[in-house]
Amino acid sequence: MSDLTQRQTEILDFIRSQLRETGFPPTREDIARQFGFSSKTGAQDHLMAIARKGFIELVPGNARGIRLLKEEEALLSHQFELPLIGSIAAGTPITAETNVDTWLRIDPELFHPRADFLHRVAGHSMKEANILDGDIVGIHVQDDADNGQIVAAVMPHPKTGEDEITLKRYFRRGKKITLKPENSAPAYKPLEIDLAPLDGDSQEQTPFRIAGVYAGLIRPRG
């Protein structure tokens, strides 16, 4: 992502923090002082390098003439946003850009544990866990779970074969995994998975994986 060197990133971060704290960009001397340079030329060189790489724009002849570019990506936009993930394209990591339907402005730290992405629930399989059709759940990414936790499981849809996310309560005893819907209606049956025959096989045959654990939800309608 960042074409900047370590030092350049530090300096860009300093510019950002100065803007936040003082309301205006630093001078070359401010930067030199901050990083212990004895000459402001060092700061100037860095600024020109950062500008050349397109992260800032230097406005000639203007005191503190530093304009931040690319701030949508860095700060404003996804700082307090979470991606809403629908279906998952084959072979992509779950939060890959192609899988992101949209970004919602919700602070990830609101959830415990912190949410890494969101997923809209379809159907009533988790009704008795008070997760309803249309709810948006926050998922904390991790690749395993404790017994009894609700997980976001990724597995191919029985008909289309496309990978999709479903919420289930997770139980594991030895090599047997149970994914249990929270709905006592007879239509909802636990899914049993036996890991034993897969031992030594290629990863591709694994019928499911854990994308993360349930970390809370948003219900967007009254």
Partner DNA sequence: AGGTGTACTGTACCAAAGAACAGTACAGAA
Partner DNA sequence: TTCTGTACTGTTCTTTGGTACAGTACACCT
Q: Within 13 A of 11's CA, how many CA atoms are on the CB side? A: 30
Helix (H) or strand (E) holding 66: strand 66-68
Helix (H) or strand (E) holding 57: strand 56-58
CB atoms within 10 A of CB 198: 14
Among 34, 142, 149, 183, binds a copy of itself (CB under 8 A): 149
Which of a copy of itself, DNA, none is residue 34 near (CB under 5 to 8 Å by kind)? Answer: none
The answer to whether 216 contacts a copy of itself (rule: CB under 8 A) is: yes
Token pair 């992101």 is at which residue? 100
Helix (H) or strand (E) holding 154: strand 150-156
The answer to whether 63 contacts a copy of itself (rule: CB under 8 A) is: yes
218 neighbors 138 (Cβ within 8 angstroms): yes
205 neighbors 198 (Cβ within 8 angstroms): yes
Which of DNA, a copy of itself, none is residue 58 near (CB under 5 to 8 Å by kind)? Answer: DNA
- How many residues form the binding site for a copy of itself (CB under 8 A)? 40
**Pick 137 or 177: Cβ nearer a copy of itself:** 137
The answer to whether 156 contacts a copy of itself (rule: CB under 8 A) is: no
What's the rounded Cα separation, in Å, for the pair 90 and 95? Answer: 12
What is the longest distance spanned by two Cα atoms in the chain?
76
The answer to whether 25 contacts a copy of itself (rule: CB under 8 A) is: yes
**Pick 53 or 114: Cβ nearer DNA:** 53
**Pick 198 or 218: Cβ nearer a copy of itself:** 218
Which of DNA, a copy of itself, none is residue 42 near (CB under 5 to 8 Å by kind)? Answer: DNA
Beta bridge mates, 193: 177
What's the rounded Cα separation, in Å, for the pair 13 and 10? Answer: 5
Among 50, 150, 165, 211, binds a copy of itself (CB under 8 A): 150
Q: Residue 168 catalytic?
A: yes
Q: How far is the CB of 44 from DNA (least distance, A)?
A: 4
Residues near a copy of itself (CB under 8 A) are 19, 22-25, 27, 57, 59, 62-68, 80, 104-107, 110-113, 130, 132, 138, 140, 149-150, 213-222
Active-site residues: which are they? 125, 168
